[in-house]
């Protein structure tokens, strides 16, 4: 995730709620609430909580924001509002 150069317009990933575990590209990124900055490109995001596990394949462009939350029907992509 660190290419040594500053990110001009990074991709931002935010996971709301408490106690969700987050893996990015197969590596543990932490537990929610969590805010991450990634380089643009393909990323696999795995979010696990009490209601199950969800895996998302992102094709992230510079400046995009991706937000996830644990809802009543599982872990979903939500508005970053």
The full set of domain ranges for the chain reads: 11-70
pLDDT digits (tens, 9 = 90+) for 15-56: 888 889 999 999 999 999 888 888 888 999 999 988 889 999
pLDDT given at position 7: 45
pLDDT given at position 3: 52
Whether the CB-CB separation of 8 and 61 falls below 8 Å is answered with no
């Amino acid at each position: 995730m660190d290419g040594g150069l500053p990110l001009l317009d990074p991709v931002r990933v935010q996971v709301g709620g408490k106690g969700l575990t987050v893996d990015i590209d197969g590596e543990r990124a932490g537990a929610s609430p969590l805010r991450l900055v990634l380089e643009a490109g393909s990323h696999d995001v795995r979010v696990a909580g009490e209601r199950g596990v969800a895996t998302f394949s992102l094709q992230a462009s510079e400046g995009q924001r991706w937000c996830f939350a644990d809802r009543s029907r599982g872990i979903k992509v939500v508005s970053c509002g």
